[in-house]
Amino acid sequence: MIGGAEIGFIGVRTTNNRGFTSEELAEQCADKIISISDTADPVIQQQARAFRGRVAKLVQVYLDQAVQSDRTTVYNALQEAGQPQLAELIRRL
């Protein structure tokens, strides 16, 4: 503990020649939101894992929507900048 605050686990995750998928990010997010004690009752652990899975799916839906929304913003900016071909490439992603 430092200054009355407990220091958590620090980990590093990487990908190879790509960014993280929305599913991978959603799983990481759910892991941060919901921790499951190894010493908890097995029934509680099972319920917590099921809940964490549902949270991950919900986060993934919103991440996918955020990606699509950002692409729409970039598409419109490229159209307004007189770059319709580039805008169309972005739209197809």
Q: Report whether pLDDT(1) > 50.
A: no
Q: What pLDDT digit, counting tens, does each position of 5-35 carry?
A: 555 667 788 889 999 999 999 999 999 999 9
Q: List alpha helices for the chain, DSSP H.
A: 22-33, 42-80, 84-92
Q: What pLDDT digit, counting tens, does each position of 53-83 carry?
A: 999 999 999 999 999 999 999 999 999 999 9
pLDDT at position 10 is 72
Q: What pLDDT digit, counting tens, does each position of 26-61 carry?
A: 999 999 999 999 999 999 999 999 999 999 999 999
Rounding to the nearest 10 degrees, give the CA dihedral for residues 22, 33, 53, 19. Answer: 20
- The domain locations on the chain are 22-92
Rounding to the nearest 10 degrees, give the CA dihedral for residues 56, 57, 63, 68. Answer: 170
- Backbone φ and ψ of 2, nearest 5°: -125, 125
